[in-house]
Structure 1
Amino acid sequence: MDTTPHTLTTLFAQLGLPMDKDGIEAFLASHSLPAGQSLPDASFWNSSQASFLREALAADAEWAEDVDELAARLTH
Structure 2
Amino acid sequence: MQANFQSLRALFGQLGLPDDDTTIAQFIEKNRINDPDTPLESLSVWSESQKQFLLEARSLDAEWAEPVDELDALLHQ
TM-score (norm 1): 0.87
Once superposed, which parts of structure 1, at least 4 consecutive aligned residues long, lie more than 3 Å away? Answer: none
- Counterpart of 2:61 in structure 1 is 60
Structure with greater contact order relative to length (CA < 8 Å, sep ≥ 6): 2
Q: How many residues align?
A: 73
Quick check: 1:46 aligned with 2:50? no
- Counterpart of 2:27 in structure 1 is 27
Structure 2 CA distance, aligned partners of 1:35 and 1:44?
18
Where 2:11 maps in the other structure, the secondary structure is helix
Shift in Å, 1:18: 0.9
Shift in Å, 1:44: 1.8
CA deviation profile, 1:22-41 (whole Å, cap 9, x unmatched): 11111011111231111112
Structure 1 CA distance, aligned partners of 2:55 and 2:5?
20
